[in-house]
Structure 1
Amino acid sequence: MLALAIAPAGAQTRPQVRDLGAEAPRSAIYIGNSFFYYNNSMHGHVNSMIRLAPPPAHAGFATSSVTISGSGLNWHDVESYFRPNALRSYSFDRQNNIVFNTNDRLYEIAIMMDCSQCPIHPRLSGLFAEYARKHSETVRRHGAQPVFFMSWAYADKPEMTQQLAEAYTVAGNANNALVIPAGLAFARAIAERPALNLYVADKRHPSLAGTYLAAATTYAALFGRSPEGNRHTAGLDADTAAFLQRTAWATVRDYYGERRAAAN
């Protein structure tokens, strides 16, 4: 019953890229909009999962998040994010001291998301394809790998799930890039637990549970490891956090199909 409920909400095209290679990434830049920065920023939750993951841990993971409210990919000047002595030139440690950094390589991956409707909007989908290509080329020119973040459907427009999944998968294949299937994780969670609200009142932006699910899916996709049992729960109750961790891992495994096996 569950498989029948979830199966239609997926991409028809299968992803060609299923992992980031043998070496786990050690740094990332998130390029997107408010879907990323809600709930004290999704990248912070991913970092907490990385820090609290069971061995082997991914120590020293460095991130930047560059977001513009309501933005599409064409709003971002990605070339400028890789300029020397700018982003990541200093950071703050756990004692709130400024640390000056020397970075031989700014980022190993760039996680990019378009506006929530842009990849499937009749007037904007062409810009999505164009800037997915342009930004992927820019990212690679600076020695990093492009990654696309598949966003979720609006709460009152579930038909967006399959449309977005297809658009992002096609873009990932066209640019030889990994796609993080967060939108499919939302659909799976809603199918299994419709009473668990993944949205705030506007029916677009994520609740804390929604951000946590997106972060767990991102962790699973980037590292090929299950987030199940991770001690970072973002303040959610244990049952909800465990359900979202399971949902993220099941979604990643289903979306990629055969990929490298990994324990949590």
Structure 2
Amino acid sequence: MSRITIARRLVLAAALLLGAGAAQAQQTRPSVQALDERPASAIFIGNSFFYYNNSMHGHLRSLITGAGERRPFSGVSVTISGSGFEWHDVESYFRPNALGSYSFDNDNNIVFNNRARLFDIAVMMDCSQCPIHPRLGSVFTDYAKRHSETVRRHGAKPVFFMSWAYADKPEMTEQLAEAYTRAGNDNDALVIPAGLAFARSIRERPELNLYVADKRHPSLAGTYLAATTTYAAIFGTSPEGNRYTAGLEPETARFLQTVAWQTVRDYLGTRRAAN
């Protein structure tokens, strides 16, 4: 890595550090700090930020296995490239005998699912800048409410996924954090602070690249950080020491696990759950 590249990342880290200090002073606090029961199934509704690097829900399942847990968990991802909240017909995702109605075992045998409810939680994300866009912010607020009501009508709980700032626009971190936190509070929904985890990682280790070349989508390290933050938030359990590393260097994975847990703990006030 060139000295110029390192210098640029150090400047970015300094900017994020300053932004984070302001965020801590002014940030609205989340009113929902934990789910009231452990979810056994989830639908991820969003865009390419979810499906990059073989999909967020797949990494989440691997983290559950990597923790040595035997409790079942199923995940489904419904994503549209570039999509905002209003692109998704969430009502249709809960129709009978459709999404998640069957899967395949290790021997490629079809397994039909017969669950009392299709999904326990719906993890939802708007487009990467929609919540803070001057023309789309009201759409975000409107559909956060609409989709939360739809999800609850089908017996599931809404969860919002706070996305991250673009690599060259660190000021988005505070803005997105505020928008998602307010939406979570307005709709009695848990918020996963992935964007804050990205900012913390960049502050502490700016040389670790969380982005691909477009400065928006996640590298494998970025997806892994988002997945470990999701794991920590929805289960209230630290991912530190998890055996699943997504093929990253073990030391890198350990660092990201710690960042995820520290971020969730600071944002949600989460304490380590009992095993």
What interval of TM-score do these two structures reach, taking the shorter chain for normalisation? over 0.9
Per-residue CA deviation, residues 161-186 of structure 1 (Å, 9 max, x unaligned), is: 00000000000000000000000000
Task: Flag as ranges the 4+ runs of structure 1 deviating above 2 A.
Answer: 2-11, 94-97, 259-264
Percent of aligned positions that are identical? 74
The residue that corresponds to 1:262 in the other structure is 273
Give the root-mean-square deviation of aligned CA atoms.
1.6
The alignment covers a number of residue pairs equal to: 259
Find out whether 1:194 has 2:206 as its counterpart.
yes
**Aligned ranges for residues 111-260 of structure 1 at < 5 Å?**
111-257=123-269, 259-260=270-271
How far off its partner does 1:217 sit? 0.1
Letter in 1 for 2:82: G
Change (3 A) 1:142 1:79: same
What is the TM-score when the length of structure 1 is the normalising length? Answer: 0.94
The residue that corresponds to 1:42 in the other structure is 56
Per-residue CA deviation, residues 68-114 of structure 1 (Å, 9 max, x unaligned), is: 00000100000000000011111121223221222221001000000
The structure whose residues are more often helix, as a share, is 2
Asked whether the 8 Å contact 1:51–1:59 carries over to 2, the reply is: no
For structure 1, the 5+ residue unaligned runs are: none
Asked whether the 8 Å contact 2:17–2:203 carries over to 1, the reply is: no
The residue that corresponds to 1:86 in the other structure is 98
Per-residue CA deviation, residues 1-20 of structure 1 (Å, 9 max, x unaligned), is: x9965433556100000000
Asked whether the 8 Å contact 1:209–1:236 carries over to 2, the reply is: yes
For structure 2, the 5+ residue unaligned runs are: 1-13
Per-residue CA deviation, residues 18-55 of structure 1 (Å, 9 max, x unaligned), is: 0001x21100000000000000001100110012214x
Q: Distance in 2 between matches of 1:134 and 1:13?
A: 22
Asked whether the 8 Å contact 1:182–1:214 carries over to 2, the reply is: yes
Find out whether 1:30 has 2:44 as its counterpart.
yes
Find out whether 1:17 has 2:32 as its counterpart.
yes
Q: Distance in 2 between matches of 1:254 and 1:128?
A: 25
What is the TM-score when the length of structure 2 is the normalising length? Answer: 0.91
Q: Distance in 2 between matches of 1:98 and 1:70?
A: 32
